[in-house]
């Protein structure tokens, strides 16, 4: 069996890149233009264009970046996330991936041009959505979780276990420390919490409130 010629090998590479270009383009419809340049034919380089955002057509010539790769095999294989612009002025973020053959020559380039004009307003909207007032930034005014009996009992049991004790077996200072910690953690916001703590520790409700001072 004879080995395919170099031209056949190059064509196989470009056809495989075509499949990738089409698949990636269809993954991001209307958002990311995907262009495959056949650098063997710089005057008619564009072989595939998915999500046509630039107005170019199949058969249009190579870009400046493509010409640089043709002229210099040592030109970077990947130029990633560089600022670009569509002909109508819309901003874009681009990535260009050069494809070399076995001889080390660039035969194709796969280029992705992301339309960020539609994403910038969305990013601003999201930034505004998650922003907090400067006066409260970094301050936890509340915790959005259940402060019910189950979590309170777990907190008390964990505190006692760390001290190799049961809740009722804690000494006075340990109980005071526990109550103050529970108070700081917001457990006293529920009306029944003080009585539950008192029952768990084997003290009076009044004692629990005294421990918070």
Q: What is the per-residue pLDDT across 38-67, written as a single tens digit (0 to 9) for each?
A: 999 999 999 999 999 999 999 999 999 999
Q: Is 51 exposed, middle or buried (0-12, 13-18, 19+ CB in 10 A)?
A: buried
Q: Which residues pair with 159 in a beta bridge?
A: none
Q: Distance between CA 62 and CA 70 in Å, rounded? A: 10
* Residue-level pLDDT, tens digit, the chain, 213 residues: 344 457 899 999 999 999 999 999 999 888 899 999 999 999 999 999 999 999 999 999 999 999 999 999 999 999 999 999 888 888 899 999 999 999 999 999 999 999 988 776 766 677 777 666 655 555 544 544 455 677 888 889 889 888 888 889 999 999 999 999 988 888 887 778 888 899 999 999 999 989 988
Alpha-carbon distance values, 14 to 23, 40, 62 (Å): 14, 10, 15
Output the pLDDT for position 71. 93
Residues 6+ apart with CB under 8 A from 41: none
Q: CA-based angle 20:23:26, to the nearest 5?
A: 145
Q: Distance between CA 100 and CA 71 in Å, rounded? A: 13
Output the pLDDT for position 170. 92
The token pair at 90 is 């819309």
- Cβ neighbours around 32 below 10 Å, total: 20
Residues 6+ apart with CB under 8 A from 188: 182, 194, 212
Of the candidates 201, 38, 160, 44, the one whose C-alpha atom is nearest the C-alpha of residue 105 is 38
The token pair at 38 is 């056949």
Q: Distance between CA 39 and CA 51 in Å, rounded? A: 21
Assign 94 to helix, strand or coil: strand
State which H helix or E strand residue 36 sits in: strand 32-38
Q: Distance between CA 144 and CA 141 in Å, rounded? A: 10
Phi and psi dihedrals of 163, rounded to 5?
-110, 20
């Amino acid at each position: 069996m004879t080995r395919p010629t170099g031209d056949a090998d190059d064509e196989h590479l470009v056809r495989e890149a075509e499949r990738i270009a089409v698949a990636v383009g269809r993954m991001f419809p209307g958002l990311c233009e995907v262009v495959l340049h056949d650098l063997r034919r710089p005057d008619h380089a564009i072989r595939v264009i998915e999500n046509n955002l630039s107005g170019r057509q199949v058969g249009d010539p190579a870009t400046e970046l493509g010409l640089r790769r043709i002229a210099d095999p040592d030109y970077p294989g990947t130029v990633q996330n560089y600022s670009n612009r569509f002909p109508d002025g819309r901003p874009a973020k681009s990535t260009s991936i050069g494809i070399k053959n076995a001889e080390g020559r660039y035969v194709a380039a796969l280029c992705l041009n992301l339309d960020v004009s539609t994403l910038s307003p969305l990013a601003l909207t999201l930034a505004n959505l998650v922003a907090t007032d400067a006066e409260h930034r970094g301050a936890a005014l509340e915790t959005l979780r259940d402060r019910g009996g189950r979590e309170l009992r777990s907190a008390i049991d964990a505190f006692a276990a760390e001290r190799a004790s049961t809740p009722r077996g804690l000494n006075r200072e340990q109980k005071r420390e526990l109550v103050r910690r529970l108070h700081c953690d917001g457990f006293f916001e529920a009306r029944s919490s003080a009585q539950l703590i008192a029952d768990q520790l084997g003290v009076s409700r009044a004692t629990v409130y005294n421990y918070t001072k």
